Structure 1
Amino acid sequence: MRAIRLPRLSSLRAFEHPGYFAVWLGALISNIGTWMETVAMGVYVTEQTGRAEWTGAIVALTYLPSVLLSPVGGALADRFDRRAYVALGSSVQLALAAVLTLLAFTHHLSVPIIGVISLLNGCASTLTSPAFSAMLAELVPPRDLHSALSLSSAQFNLGRIIGPLLAAVVLQAGGASWALLVNTLSFVAVLVAVSRVPSMKRDSDAKKPRGSLWTGITQGFSVVRADPEISLVMTSTLVVSVLVAPFIGLVPVFAIKVFGQGASATSLLVACQGAGAVVAAVTVGSLVDMVGQRRLLVLVSMSIGVVSAVYWLAPTLTLAAAGIFLLGANYMMLMSGLHAYATSRVPREFQARVSSLYSMALGAGYASGVWGLGAMADRVGVRFVTVTASVLFLAMVVTLRLLSPRTFESSQA
């Protein structure tokens, strides 16, 4: 494949490398389908149960496996051809999506069944994601790793824009079963894209993981513990995912229970979040060049609590859409920046394992946060719980800034 030349905008540098764009495009098509399914199932569960706790619980089941399986996925990704490993994981997800589609068309769909399939899909995704991230890292040189991960986040959020908009149309025209069918077919795009990537060989036998799988897992934890900067990234990721990230899974609850609307409002909010993230992904490389990676992380970590509170306090759907646009941009810059910063600090043979531990922190925090905030929202109100969480996060960041200013000033990148 011929390289794509986009030299003037540093955020797009990863597109210059052969193979990267094919994987990026295949993942985009798949994510469009995934977000169609996410909107359809979020609306279905919220309308069927009328409880934010159930909506949060279903989302949590998708991320819960990351608590145990992320380190396993990272260790496995460093042992096998990552291209083949990603293809296998995508095939499993395709099969699970097909089962969900069949149940919907035969009118056997239910909330418990959605929960079981969400859990299994979470297992497959958790075991595959570290290999996918490491595969992207192998397709670009180290200097373009931040661009590659930011553009990966951008395609995920482009899917978040296009998928919900298509879902609103499909749900109105044919119902949830047709949205699930589109998602099933979308996994084919990933398989085609990955097939175009050459088999990935290790640089030398010395860099191949040695010993048992458990040894590989413990080595990943040792790398994180040995580097205070990576440890700080993991702690930050956990806190953000508990207190701020649940805004993603609770969108249907906000649209339906606060604004009294359904699929169309849910799709609008999800799409606006994705639009904000895409704008941030295109510009974040230039911002990193101007202010440095670490300083940018400081700025967005200081602002995200405020932006999150403003979104949850929005009095109208229109203002909420504007708020989630800004929140989506802020969240994308923070999380992709944390991920890239941690991954760039280790040799390539450890990148999948460090990426898996990042996913573990994100998944564990998000699963507990989205379920916990959803459960409390049913009892004391959506706005009160979510705004309190946002303010608590801001207070924690400010406190750390005051007590340990060097934490924010050292190791500028």
Structure 2
Amino acid sequence: MSSPDFDLLLKQRIGLDAEAIGAASLQHVLAERQRICGLGSIQAYWDRVQADDAELNALIETVVVSETWFCRHPEAFAAMVRCLNEGGRAAEAKSRLLSLPCATGEEPASMVMALLDAGIDIRRVELDAIDISEQALEAARTGLYSGNAFRGRMGDWQARYFTQVQSGYLLDPAVRAPISYRRTNLLDMALPRHYYDIIFCRNLLIYFDQSTQVKAIAALDTLLKPDGCLYVGPAESALLLKSGWISQRIPHAFAFCKPGSAGRRVQPPPSPRYQHVGSNRASRASLSESAQDALVAAPLRSQPVELHKPASGSSLLREARSLADAGQLAQAEQLCLQYVDRHEPVAEAYYLLGLVNDASAHSTVAEAHYRKAIYLDPQHIEALVHLATLLEARGDRGGADRLHSRARRVPTGRRGVPDV
């Protein structure tokens, strides 16, 4: 009889770093499955899982339950359309797209709706949607969604592509038609090299340990065509940059080309690079990618910047965010310092100071600012994630893991970047 080691089991079967979901969350899942199976001890449940593939799959299904919605980060879907159009791929015999993990189907459906809106012939599109959860895939195939799935900025998509029925909203069969759903794991995919033009792999890498992240990124490199585009989650941009991938520098899209690739540069839309809706903290999601890109694309300027006092402290920070997103890091830092000098300390100001110093390779100063932000707001998820990335780059894996674990425990309603 072997001793229970569920952490190792989940890593071996699905590549999951149990620390990413938190020890308390995993223990809760194990206790619930043990109760459902009517077993009196965790050892008895471990023996059941070892002997019963159906129960192992049930455990995995419970662990990987994900939260998603339609049109999550709409800039990514707009960038996908431009990538296909500007590369001439939309007119080719076939364009191959991949969504993983696809969860209950909101992401691949959003990809198709964006293509339909752009006038791309959907008959020339093959879209593979994969996940390790059969329950999630079955829900995706059904195409029936509750109102909670429509939290993104969808425009009139809900009215045009869904039919309201008694139990929710049913997705148009024309949207589901080009999508092929199947159950598999990224590391188990057996396909020809350079198979896909577009890959959406958002918020998967953050749940892997470091060695599995390396393998997963290598698998994505193998699957993506030399001039293809990869889209990841906000908290995963640093992982791609450290692995040599080339950012497309499109705000909020988190789009990358392969390392060493001539990579067709997708032109950003002509609309303003940064949008704010009230005090919505979700707009900060692009700053980590943009600020790091700015170190290469727009080195810090030493010339003075004219400072003025905006109508309020919040508008001062909004302007600082906008400057940072545009790569004007010195100016953004000066506005943050101006805010700190004139107002009560808030986590957002110190987070932005950490961000611009992080992008400028002033890691010691960045760490101090991130820690101040977390002191002021222990649930400031962006500060937690970026400080974890900084510590990981320095070799402090234990410190990084603890911060990532804290970030995972932040309630969904408090998350500045809801898909971390």
Superposition TM-score, scaled by structure 2 size: 0.25
Q: Which has the larger radius of gyration?
A: 2
- Structure with the largest fraction of strand: 2
